[in-house]
Every structure is written in structure tokens, then in C-alpha cells.
């Protein structure tokens, strides 16, 4: 009886269940958008990625596309009938065919462009509309083909134009994926566009033991790019479908607009360094054996070079194409502390061409490289770095002197050697400025000063750094320069807090990538974005752009997330989210100076938590002077005289920052904006923030500065100060109850400072302070 009752209740509930209110998008087409089986990996249809770009609470996507289908076979096999029978009022049907309709020799698929192809498209449109649905036509996506001169070749003949003609005749919305995809393929170039399609060596995927060269079907990266073009086309049309496109966590940005990046994969073959004579005895220098293993791996077509568990001593390692250097769990790769093991090479230093010692890990002009694993790489940095007296206790300083080395005349700096001391005291030692190069004799006389970055990768494509720990770097730890498609995941960097120039990560003039799940604890900046310095950086003119930085933790560092100061080639289109900064001198640190030039713009930050920040939680500063952000005892951070200088190519610019959902417990200053009289900092938007600090907002030479729903819990009795700034809107500011001054506006060039929706005691209405204000105080009294 109970079983019958359960069945009755189930039938009753099902009968009265509300109809599915979700909008449905039906995808009809061929292999370029079809779902794939696991065995098809890495082939990916753009329809497989499309759901990631829609709000799935409001829309569902049914992918009916199938490999090899044309408009004709899609109908004759009954696939179209299956789609149209399900269409309900308001649904959308995406229709993209053409690749297989062209196959004149195949009578099961051939559909001539001007006759059957046109008729079938017309049928799809009319029958969709008859059911109350909305047809959307999409022109065929491009294949990849270039001629011998590198010019792109269109292989689609009349078919794209027929789609356009049908769309015009029947007044159907259309996405010209044919044109959009060609633009993208050409932009990637002859070699770069291979990443969009399936170009893989042998021994990587089971389906292709001898490799794949397929210029029709997409990699996961290519499918993501093509799906984003489809959504871009939707957003350009006057249709309601754009209302269900998925918004990202970033201000005014959709998910499809976020950067795309290619992650390299490697052959399964493994080359154990032991086979090449390496010994984990703590005595043998394994430089030759490790580099021989890398050479053999490269010659064989790529794979993994394995550093197994143990302590391995080595000099510089030279990476090669298609090689993944894998540091196994419980492996320590210890780089030599002997300066003679590191030849002097031409590279860069702090954004300028320079001679330095070769990096412990070195790669130039490479494709598909990786450093992965759970092991540790130690750069031996203590034999390279000078150390400041103020950053040591008395006992530490005494021990340092006892260890050897030399001390400066003022007894305020310790150097590992006389050569190190000489280089530190020479201006621009090792730099190549205005074409003038130091002689080899000069370089040798201060070689110990030419400390290398730990990982130097220059003009490399498809880079993966994953899982490993880098520690004790001589200078910058990870330095990708002019690299494309960089993936840095779950990497740990540990350097001494007093290790100057030991930035954890410096992305310089790099494009497209992700920094995810990393943990940094270092003596200089944490996550750092650069693009060259001064005239050399401007001449290079390559910005760092299109990066996602998320789920990272930074402990001690000069800054948690940093842009500059070497940003002369520009920085743009960065997306930072879900990061935590604990004890970094500054949280969000954006720094530059006169002479740099360059434009930093379109920077998006959301969901950042900070604790115990000695300096500013959020800092925009155009007066960077290569000093620590928090003065040591006896130092000062006084500004130079603030006076206007003529505008020129060396005038830097900060603009279009969108920052929201910030929490900071403890800082010296909550928000500091400090622009130049001749070039204000523009379009800074900070929303939904709670910051506990000694000082609140200090804004000097800012323009279009917008704070909304910001809580400033300050010790200073003055919550906000604005000087010589324009169009500053302070909307919904919350503050402590014991403040004397809510807002102080100063300077005879302050204009349009507005206080909105803020309880300022007896101030009952919005306040606007206009031009000519020398000083105006809005107080609670």
C-alpha cells in the first residue's frame, strides 16, 4: 500500500510540476562546434565552451552539432526534425554549416551554395519561426591556411555570402564568424595560429601517436576564442539574448571578454638525469648531465626531463623546445654558489639592456617549455646579494661580517666580495645605455655584482610553471620577458625578507596568461607587472596585457600586486581576483615616475583581503624614487617639490582602474592617489571597501576619482583629504563617530568635489566644492 502511495505522489508531483522556464539555445552544425568524446581529446568544438559564457540559471544549451554534417545530411538523418520538434516560443536556434556542404563528390552531404544550401538554410529559418523560435545564422568558421608568402587563404567560396544573403532576405540576425575568425587567425600569425587548431607532436595524445596537424578543428584554446567571437557577435545584435550572457566578477565585464591563454602539453617520454651521469651526492656539479638530458629530450621531439628525489648541485640550466623540466617531490635542485659557473651574457636588468651573469634557468626564443613538480629549486642567492645594515639585528650583522665579505665605508652595507662592492658603487654598472657597452675587462672587475634573475625566459611561447618552489633567488625570481601564453600555477616563492630586488614574479612585456594559486614571501615586490624602462621601454613599445591573476597569497613583500615602476611600454587588460595579502608593505601598489612614459589602463581588481599592511592598502604614486615603500628608521619618504613640468614622451599615465570588494584590517593609509600636476591620475573607481587604517583617503592631482560604499575606519581625525583634484565623487562613505573632519579640500585647482549620501552630522544635503577652493572643511560639527 505504501509503495502505491509513493507512486501516486510521484505521478501527481510530476503532473503539476511547472514547465521548464529556462530559455533553450539549440546548436545545429558540424564538427567545428560539436561536442566531442573523451577519445577525441584535444579536439574541442566551440559549442562545448559556449555554456561557460551564458547564465546557466536562465538558459540551457543543447548541442546537436555532429562531426561531418552538412545542411543536407543534418536533415536526411533526422537531426533537424529532432531539434525543431523541441523548439518552444522564445527559444533560439543557432545554425552554422558550410564545411561539408562543399564536398561535391559526396552525394550524401553535397549541397551547392546557390541552390540546396540556400534552400536548406531557408527551411531552418522558416520552421524555427513557425514554432515561435528565433533563428540565428552563423557564417562558416575559417580553416587555417596561409600561402607561401604568409597571406591568408579563404577556402569557403560562395558559402559565407549565401548565409548573408539569406539573413538579409529573411531578416534574420547573423553573426559573421567567417570574417571574425579570419581576423583572429591572421592576428595570431602563421605560427601563432597553430595554437588555435590541433598542432601537436607525437606521443602526447593516444588518438595521434605520430602527431596531429589539423587546420580545421580547434584546440581547447581555439574553441574558447571562437566561442567568445560568437558571443561578441550576439552582443553586437539588437536581440534580447544578450541579457543572458554571463557577467564576470569584474566591473562592466562579461566572462567571454576575459583573457584566453594556451597551456602547453608535453610528450610522455621521460629522460631521467641519472641516465646521463647525474649524482645526488651533494658534491658533484651536475650541470653537464642535466643539460645533456635536456638536449636528448629536445632532439627526441620533447618530453619530460626528470630530476628525481635527492640533492642535486648544478650550474646554469639551458631549456630547449618542448621540454618539461620536472622537479620531483623531495628533490632539491641547488644552484652553484661559485660565480665562475655563470658566464656574463647580454640580457636585461630592471627594464634596460644590460650585461648580467647567466640565470640559473635560462631560455631564449623557445616554444612549449615547462618547469613542474613538487620539488624545490634554490638559487644560492646569499652569495650574490648586498645586505643593508638596517635590515639586520646586531647579532645578525655581527655574524654576517664574521662570515667574510666586505663592508661599505659608512658601515651600512655588507657585500659578498670586493667585486660586488665595486659594482654596487658604480652608476649603471653593466647597463648598455645609448649604445655604449662596458668592456669585458670592466665587466670582470665587478662580475659578482652582476647577479642574475633566477629564471630568465625571453621571447618564449607557451610557458608552464607549475607546482614547484623557488627560493633564495639572487635577484628577481621569475622573469618572463616578451613571452606569449604564460601559465603560472601553484608556484611558491620564498626569499629572505631583506633580499633586495628579489621580486617573486615579474611579467615584463608579456601577453596572454594566468597566474593562479601561487604563494609568495619575498624581500621585494610580490606579483609584479612591468614593460621596460624609460626610453628603451618606450622604443620596445610592447605592453604587458591580457592576464588573469587569481587565488594568490602574498606574505612579506614590498607590494602584493604591483604595476611598475618600469612600465614604459604600457600595461593593460589585467584581471585580479580572490587574492590575500598578509603583511606586504603595500597591498595594491601602482608606481611610476617622470621619465618612464607609458600608459597603464583597464585594470580590474575584485575580492582582495589584506591584513597588517605597514604602508598603503591602495596606492597610486607617480613619485616613485626606488625607495622601500615603508621608510626604515632614519629614512624619510618626503616628496620632491610638487611643480608642473612640460608634457613629453616620458610623462607616464594611470587611468581606468576598477577596484571593488576590498577588505583591509590595518594599514598606514587606506587610499593614496598622488599624481603629477601636469598629468593627473584619472578614472579611478573603488567600490565596496572596508579599510581600517591610520589615515583615510589622500588624493593629490587626481581626476574622476570615484569612491562608492567605502568604509574608512581611521585613527586620524581627518577622514579624507583632496588636493588639486577634479571630479572627485565620494558616495556613501562610512566612517567612525569620533572624527573632527570628514573631508578637507585644498588647492586652488580643486573642482567638482562631491560628497553624496553620507551622514555628515548637520550636513543635510549633497555638497559640491568647486574651482578656486583654497581650503574647505566639511566637518561633523
List beta partners, residue 370.
324, 464
pLDDT for 14 equals: 38
Residue 728 burial (CB count, 10 A): 26
- Mean per-residue pLDDT, 112-120: 98
Q: Is the pLDDT of residue 619 over 80?
A: yes
pLDDT (0 to 100) of residue 625: 75
Residue 702: is its pLDDT beyond 90?
Answer: yes
User: Mean pLDDT, to the nearest integer, of 734-739?
Assistant: 85
Q: Do strands 174-175 and 197-200 pair parallel, antiparallel, or not at all (unpaired)? A: unpaired
Between 459 and 759, residue with greater pLDDT = 459
Name the band, by pLDDT with cuts 50, 70 and 90, for residue 767.
low
Catalytic (active site) residue 298:
no
Q: Is 213 tagged catalytic?
A: yes
Task: Tell me the average pLDDT across 540-553.
Answer: 98
Question: In this predicted structure, which of 415-424, 627-636, 681-690, 723-732 has the lowest mean pLDDT?
Answer: 627-636
Q: Cell triple for residue 151?
A: 597571406
Q: What is the pLDDT of residues 151-168, one digit of tens each?
A: 999 999 999 999 999 999
Counting other chains too, the contacts that 217-221 makes at CB distance below 8 Å and 24 or more residues apart are: 217/31, 217/32, 217/43, 217/44, 217/45, 218/32, 218/43, 218/44, 218/45, 218/46, 219/42, 219/43, 219/44, 219/195, 219/262, 220/42, 220/44, 220/49, 221/195, 221/196, 221/260, 221/261, 221/262, 221/263
- pLDDT (0 to 100) of residue 4: 45
**Confidence check: pLDDT of 98 > 70:** yes
What is the three-class DSSP state of 505? strand
Strands 505-508 and 527-530, by their bridges, are parallel
Predicted pLDDT of residue 642: 74
pLDDT at site 628: 59
For 254, the grid coordinates are: 562579461
CA atoms of 580 and 559, how far apart (whole Å): 12
Given 77, 169, 191, 213, the catalytic residue: 213
Q: Which of the residues 99, 156, 188, 217 is marked catalytic?
A: 217
Lowest mean pLDDT: which of 20-29, 436-445, 563-572, 583-592?
20-29
pLDDT score for 757: 85
pLDDT at 633 exceeding the cut of 60 = no
| pLDDT computed for residue 194 by the predictor | 97
pLDDT of 636 reads: 54
Question: What confidence score (pLDDT) does residue 763 get?
Answer: 41
pLDDT tens, 191-201? Answer: 999 999 999 99
Whether 229 contacts 294, CB under 8 Å = no
C-alpha cell, 166: 539569406
Whether 8 has a pLDDT exceeding 50, the answer reads: no
Q: Which helix (H) or strand (E) holds 612?
A: strand 599-621
User: Are 458 and 481 spatial neighbours (Cβ–Cβ below 8 Å)?
Assistant: yes
> How far lies 283's CA from each of 293, 312, 326, in Å?
19, 8, 21
Average pLDDT (476-494) is 98
Specify the pLDDT at position 309.
98
Phi and psi at residue 347, to the nearest 5°? -150, -145
Task: Compute the CA torsion angle 527, 657, 622, 544 (nearest 10 deg).
Answer: 50
The per-residue pLDDT for 165 is 98
The whole-model pTM stands at 0.93
> Which residues lie below 8 Å from residue 593, measured CB to CB, with a gap of 6+?
565, 622, 623, 624, 625, 652
The cell for 276 is: 646521463
H helix or E strand, kind and range, residue 396: helix 394-402
Q: Which residue do the cell numbers 583617503 mark?
A: 697
For cell 624545490, the residue is: 376
Which of the residue ranges 69-73, 267-271, 594-598, 764-768 would you say has the lowest mean pLDDT? Answer: 764-768
What are the CA-CA distances from residue 541 to residues 199, 261, 483, 596, 624 (Å)?
30, 21, 14, 12, 21
Query: What's the N-to-C CA distance of the chain in angstroms?
Result: 78
% of residues, the chain, pLDDT over 90: 89
Helix (H, G, I), strand (E, B) or coil at 344: strand
Across the range 40-53, mean pLDDT stands at 97
Average pLDDT, the chain: 93
**Which three cell numbers mark 423?**
659594482
DSSP structure string for 346-393: EEEETTEEEEEEPPSEEEES-EEEEEEES-EEE--GGGT--EEGGGS-
Which SS3 state, helix, strand or coil, does residue 293 take? helix
Q: In 622-740, which ranges are E strands?
A: 653-674, 681-693, 695-700, 702-714, 718-723, 726-731, 734-735
748 vs 40: CA distance, rounded Å: 68
- Known catalytic membership, residue 232: no
pLDDT confidence of residue 734: 92
Run of H or E including 175: strand 174-175
Q: Would the pLDDT of 10 be above 50?
A: no
Lowest mean pLDDT among 330-334, 639-643, 719-723: 639-643
The secondary structure of 17-36 as a DSSP string is SPPP-SEEEEEEE-TTT---
Residue 485 has pLDDT above 70, yes or no: yes
Residue 126 exposure: Cα atoms within 13 Å on the Cβ side: 8
Examine the pLDDT at 286 and tell me if it is beyond 90. yes
CA distance 532 to 543: 9
Q: Rounded distance, CA 548 to CA 653, Å?
A: 22
Tell me if 511 sits within 8 A of 484, measured CB to CB: yes
CA 550: distance to chain centroid? 9
Beta strands in 483-598 (DSSP E): 484-489, 492-494, 505-508, 511-516, 519-521, 527-530, 544-550, 553-554, 559-563, 571-582, 586-591
Residue with cell 601602482: 590
Confidence of residue 740 (pLDDT cuts 50, 70, 90): confident
Rounded to whole angstroms, the Cα distance separating 211 from 676 reads 56
Residue 765: per-residue pLDDT: 44
pLDDT value of residue 304:
98
Q: What is the mean pLDDT of residues 499-509?
A: 97
Hey, what's the cell of 287?
A: 650541470
Amino acid at each position: 500500500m505504501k509503495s502505491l502511495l509513493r507512486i501516486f505522489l510521484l505521478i501527481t508531483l510530476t503532473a503539476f510540476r511547472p514547465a521548464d522556464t529556462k530559455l533553450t539555445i539549440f546548436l545545429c552544425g558540424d564538427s567545428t562546434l560539436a561536442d566531442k568524446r573523451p577519445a577525441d581529446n584535444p579536439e574541442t568544438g566551440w559549442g562545448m565552451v559556449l555554456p561557460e559564457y551564458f547564465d546557466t540559471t536562465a538558459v540551457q544549451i543543447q548541442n546537436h552539432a555532429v562531426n561531418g554534417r552538412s545542411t543536407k545530411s543534418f536533415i536526411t538523418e533526422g537531426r533537424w526534425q529532432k531539434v525543431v520538434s523541441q523548439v518552444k516560443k522564445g527559444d533560439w536556434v543557432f545554425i552554422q554549416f558550410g564545411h561539408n556542404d562543399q564536398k561535391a563528390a559526396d552525394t550524401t552531404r553535397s549541397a551547392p551554395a546557390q541552390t540546396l544550401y540556400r534552400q536548406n538554410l531557408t527551411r531552418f529559418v522558416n520552421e524555427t519561426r513557425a514554432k515561435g523560435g528565433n533563428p540565428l545564422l552563423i557564417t562558416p568558421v575559417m580553416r587555417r591556411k596561409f600561402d607561401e608568402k604568409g597571406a591568408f587563404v579563404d577556402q569557403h567560396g560562395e558559402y559565407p555570402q549565401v548565409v548573408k544573403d539569406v539573413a538579409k532576405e529573411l531578416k534574420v540576425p547573423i553573426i559573421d564568424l567567417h570574417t571574425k575568425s579570419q581576423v583572429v587567425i591572421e592576428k595570431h600569425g602563421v605560427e601563432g595560429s597553430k595554437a588555435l587548431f590541433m598542432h601537436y607532436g607525437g606521443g602526447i595524445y593516444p588518438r595521434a601517436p605520430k602527431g596531429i596537424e589539423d587546420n580545421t578543428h580547434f584546440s581547447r584554446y581555439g574553441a574558447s576564442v571562437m566561442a567568445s567571437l560568437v558571443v561578441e557577435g550576439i552582443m553586437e545584435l539588437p536581440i534580447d539574448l544578450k541579457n543572458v550572457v554571463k557577467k564576470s566578477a569584474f566591473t562592466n565585464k562579461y566572462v567571454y571578454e576575459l583573457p584566453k591563454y594556451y597551456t602547453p602539453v608535453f610528450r610522455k617520454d621521460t629522460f631521467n638525469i641519472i641516465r646521463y651521469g647525474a649524482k645526488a651526492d651533494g658534491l658533484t656539479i651536475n650541470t653537464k648531465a642535466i643539460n645533456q638530458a635536456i638536449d636528448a629530450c629536445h632532439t627526441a621531439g620533447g618530453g619530460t626531463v626528470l630530476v628525481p628525489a635527492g640533492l642535486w648541485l648544478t650550474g646554469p640550466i639551458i631549456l630547449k623546445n618542448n621540454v618539461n623540466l620536472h622537479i620531483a617531490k623531495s628533490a632539491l635542485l641547488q644552484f652553484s654558489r661559485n660565480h665562475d659557473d655563470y658566464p656574463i651574457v647580454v640580457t636585461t636588468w630592471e627594464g634596460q639592456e644590460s650585461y648580467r651573469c647567466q640565470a640559473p634557468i635560462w631560455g631564449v626564443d623557445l616554444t612549449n617549455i615547462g618547469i613542474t613538480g613538487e620539488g624545490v629549486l634554490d638559487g644560492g642567492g646569499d652569495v650574490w646579494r648586498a645586505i643593508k645594515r638596517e635590515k639586520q639585528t646586531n647579532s645578525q650583522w655581527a655574524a654576517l661580517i664574521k662570515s667574510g665579505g666586505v663592508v661599505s665605508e659608512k658601515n651600512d652595507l655588507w657585500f659578498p666580495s670586493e667585486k660586488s662592492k665595486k659594482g654596487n658603487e658604480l652608476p649603471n654598472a653593466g647597463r648598455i645605455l645609448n649604445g655604449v657597452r662596458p668592456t669585458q675587462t670592466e665587466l670582470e672587475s665587478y662580475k659578482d655584482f652582476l647577479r642574475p634573475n633566477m629564471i630568465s625566459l625571453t621571447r618564449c611561447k607557451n610557458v608552464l610553471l607549475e607546482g614547484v618552489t623557488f627560493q633564495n633567488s639572487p635577484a628577481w625570481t621569475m622573469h618572463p620577458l616578451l613571452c606569449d601564453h604564460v601559465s603560472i600555477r601553484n608556484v611558491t616563492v620564498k626569499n629572505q625578507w631583506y633580499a633586495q630586488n628579489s621580486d617573486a614574479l615579474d611579467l615584463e612585456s608579456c601577453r596572454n596568461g594566468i597566474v593562479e594559486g601561487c604563494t609568495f614571501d619575498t624581500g621585494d615586490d610580490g606579483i609584479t607587472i612591468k614593460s621596460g624602462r624609460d626610453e628603451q621601454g618606450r622604443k620596445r613599445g610592447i605592453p604587458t596585457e591580457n592576464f588573469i591573476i587569481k587565488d594568490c597569497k602574498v606574505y612579506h613583500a614590498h607590494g602584493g600586486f604591483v604595476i611598475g615602476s618600469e612600465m614604459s611600454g604600457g600595461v593593460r587588460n589585467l584581471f585580479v581576483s580572490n587574492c590575500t595579502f598578509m603583511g606586504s608593505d603595500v597591498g595594491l601598489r601602482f608606481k611610476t615616475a617622470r621619465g618612464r612614459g607609458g600608459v597603464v589602463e583597464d585594470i580590474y581588481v575584485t575580492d582582495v583581503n589584506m591584513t597588517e599592511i605597514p604602508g598603503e592598502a591602495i596606492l597610486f604614486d607617480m613619485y616613485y624614487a626606488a625607495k622601500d615603500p615603508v621608510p626604515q628608521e632614519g629614512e624619510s619618504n618626503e616628496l620632491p617639490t610638487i611643480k608642473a613640468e612640460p608634457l613629453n614622451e616620458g610623462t607616464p599615465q594611470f587611468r581606468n582602474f576598477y577596484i571593488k570588494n576590498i577588505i583591509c584590517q590595518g594599514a598606514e593609509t587606506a587610499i593614496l592617489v598622488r599624481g603629477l600636476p601636469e598629468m593627473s591620475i584619472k578614472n579611478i573607481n573603488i567600490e565596496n571597501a572596508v579599510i581600517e587604517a591610520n589615515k583615510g583617503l589622500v588624493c593629490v592631482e587626481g581626476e574622476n576619482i570615484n569612491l562608492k560604499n567605502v568604509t574608512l575606519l581611521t585613527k586620524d581625525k581627518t577622514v579624507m583629504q583632496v588636493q588639486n583634484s577634479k571630479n572627485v565623487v565620494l558616495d556613501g562613505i562610512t566612517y567612525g563617530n569620533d572624527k573632527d573632519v570628514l573631508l578637507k579640500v585644498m588647492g586652488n585647482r580643486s573642482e567638482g568635489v562631491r560628497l553624496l549620501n553620507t551622514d555628515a552630522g548637520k550636513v543635510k544635503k549633497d555638497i559640491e566644492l568647486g574651482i578656486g577652493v583654497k581650503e574647505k572643511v566639511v566637518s561633523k560639527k
